[in-house]
Chains A and B, each alone.
With several copies, the nearest count.
Chain A
Amino acid sequence: MPTVTLIEAVTMAMDHEMSVDEDVVVLGEDVGRNGGVFRATDGLQEKHGEDRVIDTPLAEAMIAGLSVGMAAQGMKPIAELQFMGFMFPAFNQIVTGAARLRNRTRGRLSVPLVVRMPYGGGIHAPEHHSESTEALFAHIPGLKVVTPSSPARAYGLLLAAIRDPDPVIFLEPKRIYRMVKQEIEDDGEAYPLETCFIDREGDDVTLVSWGATMHETLLAADELADEGISCEVIDIATIAPLDMPTIFDSVEKTGRVVIVQEAAKTGGVGSEIAAEISEHRLMSLIAPIGRVAGYDAIMPLAKMERHYMPQVVRITDEVKKVMDYS
């Protein structure tokens, strides 16, 4: 079994699916000869040819809109947008095009499309390269939104996304692209979408996160364990549609929740999770729902970005606050 990083797992999943399904094609800026600015498509063009790993002109609306047309013909495009900060020109096509075609035509046409993009901060990248705006996609009916927090999940969830008959926004937490390696069998086994993963069982408090901040969340859980606080840690993995039952079960057990997100706090995915809990499991709660999040500020440039992001200490502080609540 190869031992791979998260980004290598992304490549592996695309490679696998391109090998077994000739309708799968990859397109985007610099995905071909260059193998992607992060190298997510490294080697794919050499192996699958220029017709299936396509360097496009520089235009994100075009990449998305073109993909809608291709998908409507039964192809399965995997479109790469270079950074989430550059998805905005494509947003029109994603929302008014991709998300709606099946519904608009009562199922006559559909859009089996994956739009991949790296997101999040912490790598000292230039301006507009570090944002986390997954909540914008999560509000749009017709889309699915997925983000992996480990190489194995990247592989399994991306396979699921490619095979999904509907548009999936696949968000890659670039800060952890190369953080850890994992042994993964390249066996084409997909993971289920709309399913949370319980990464650590615990009794005192439920920590919910996704993507790169799973890393800090698990570290916080470790630290807290040393202090005698037992955390259950959930990786939601599919941001939309959310698997709330898994979270509800945990909340019933622990009665306390802290949600960790890198995105700006207001209107983030964490707010939706908190709202669902306050609607459906309010009476299980024995403490306020904590949200550790990026501030409601514009992601600062490199020199200050670490202050913006949820660090381990912010998580442990919040958990202690929630634990101390009475």
Chain B
Amino acid sequence: MPTVASFEVSYLQYLDENSQAVNDLPDFAKDTNLLTGLYKDMLFARTLDYRAMSLQRMGKMGTYPGTLGQEAVGVGSGSCLGDDDVLVPYYRGSNTMIQHGVKPHELLLYWGGDERGSDFKNPRVRQDFPIAVPIATQCLHAAGVATAMKARGQTGRAVLTEIGEGGTSEGEFYEALNVAGVWNLPLVCVINNNQWAISVPAEMQTACETFAQKGIAAGIESLQVDGNDVIAVKDAVGRAMEKARSGGGPTLIEAICYRLCDHTTADDASRYDDPEAREEAWAKEPLKRLGDYLVNLGAVTKKQLEEFEVEAKEAVEKEVEIYFDTILNNPQPVGAMFDYLYAELPEKTKAQREEVIARDLRAREGG
């Protein structure tokens, strides 16, 4: 039987588990300031994460999906986004979003149960999509944004979207890649393969040996990267975005890491996760990976790393303050429930709006 088509999936890593460079570093990674910046951003991510979880435990926030162990995926990908690019994130995309310009307090608002958290105020991200909770739906929105860019001949723009490895079992993921392939859309899709879909391990999602190979079904370029190595993530996503911006079409990138936290604050991973596997994964985690590298290189000192932590905590605290200030001193009026349903509220619904406002007023007046 003659072979009529053949395919390969490659794997990209720059820093190995011991923070040793195993490949010639890409140019950007020769800039230790830039790397230190990435380190700080990952540290901010982790700090925000811990803080959000503590807020949730104190009953001051809703369910929150942590990103522990996945900081390199979000920070590395998000750092590749330019002013004209559009991010279409998934619910665990906080770090990607922040990299592009979403304010951390907006994320707190969203997960705290306030819709204004998706009304990103930074002009740079006004076109970005809000968090997608229904899994895989975001991939199609991303393909749609990319279709608009292509239809309007906007070279120089591209779309980044992300999904969990579990989400790749949804048909809409595949439909999005397929249309991106056949229309050669400026789309990059990053799979955060954190090994778990809530309690279901990656090997129970698919018989595939890689998640990257799912791109072969769409005829698009597909590769794997070490998702604990922010240099590898940034390099792969950066090149893919650049390719997309210049008309080269879509790319699928699987970033392999490990979800070191519970699925969300509503979950308890100890029910299903193997402590040993988790222990092993801790040894590979992205902050240590890059921190050790920078220290070994002499670019930063251990002491500086500790100072960064203090800075990160302060920065997070500022965001938490804005969050509290907003929900406590400036809550949404109840009529807001109706104010963004349509450009103009239908006649039929106006009485309902009045009712909810009147009821609220009455309740406040001590009814």
Direct chain A–B contact by Cβ atoms under 8 Å: yes
Which residues of chain A have a CB within 8 Å of any CB of chain B? 25, 29-30, 32-35, 37, 51-52, 55-62, 64-75, 85-86, 88-89, 92-93, 96-97, 101-110, 124-129, 141-142, 144, 164-166, 194, 241-245, 265-266, 295-298, 300-305, 307-308, 313-314
Return the contact of B141 from the options A72, A105, A128, A298 (Cβ within 8 A).
A72
Cα of A64 to Cα of B144 in the assembled complex, Å: 9
16 additional A-B pairs beyond A66-B143, A66-B144, A144-B346, beta carbons within 8 Å, are A30-B199, A32-B199, A51-B151, A55-B200, A57-B178, A58-B170, A69-B146, A73-B145, A86-B135, A89-B170, A93-B140, A102-B340, A102-B342, A105-B340, A241-B347, A301-B110
The reply to whether the CB of B63 lies closer than 8 angstroms to some CB of chain A is yes
A242 to B348, CA, bound (A): 7
Q: Tell me which residues across on chain B come within 8 A of A308, comparing CB atoms.
A: 337, 356
Check B118–A108 contact: CB distance below 8 A: yes
Is B37 among interface residues, defined by CB-CB distance under 8 A?
no
Q: Which of B123-131, B275-283, B288-296 forms part of the interface with chain A?
A: B123-131
Give, as a whole number of angstroms, the nearest-CB distance from B304 to chain A.
37
* Chain A residues with CB below 8 A from B151, complex form: 25, 51-52, 70, 75
Give the interface size class of chain B.
Answer: 35 or more
User: Complex Cα distance A107/B139, Å?
Assistant: 21
Q: Is the CB of A55 within 8 A of B199?
A: yes
Residues on B with beta carbons closer than 8 Å to the beta carbon of A92: 134, 137, 172
* A62 to B183 alpha-carbon distance, docked (Å): 13
* Distance in angstroms between the alpha carbons of A66 and B145 in the assembled complex: 7
User: B62 near A109 (CB under 8 angstroms)?
Assistant: no
Q: Is the CB of B346 within 8 A of A241?
A: yes
Kindly list chain B residues whose C-beta atoms are within 8 Å of the C-beta of A74.
Answer: 148
Assembled-state Cα–Cα distance A93/B144 (Å): 12
Question: Which residue of chain B has its CB nearest to the CB of A22?
Answer: B152
Tell yes or no: B206 within 8 A of A by CB: yes
Residue of B nearest to A308 (CB): B337
- Is there contact, CB below 8 Å, between B172 and A69? no
Identity of the chain B residue whose Cβ is nearest the Cβ of A88 in the assembled complex? B134
Supply 10 A–B pairs (Cβ within 8 Å), ascending by A: A30-B200, A52-B151, A58-B166, A62-B169, A68-B141, A106-B340, A107-B339, A296-B349, A300-B115, A313-B359
Contact of B348 among A33, A102, A241 (CB under 8 A): A241
| Beta-carbon contacts under 8 Å, B187-204 to A | 197-200, 204
Q: With a CB–CB cut-off of 8 A, which chain A residues contact B340?
A: 102-103, 105-107
Knowing A62-B176, A102-B340 are in contact, say whether A37-B346 is a contact too (CB < 8 A). Answer: no
* Neighbour of B197 across the interface among A35, A58, A165, CB < 8 A: A58
Cβ of B227 under 8 Å from chain A: no
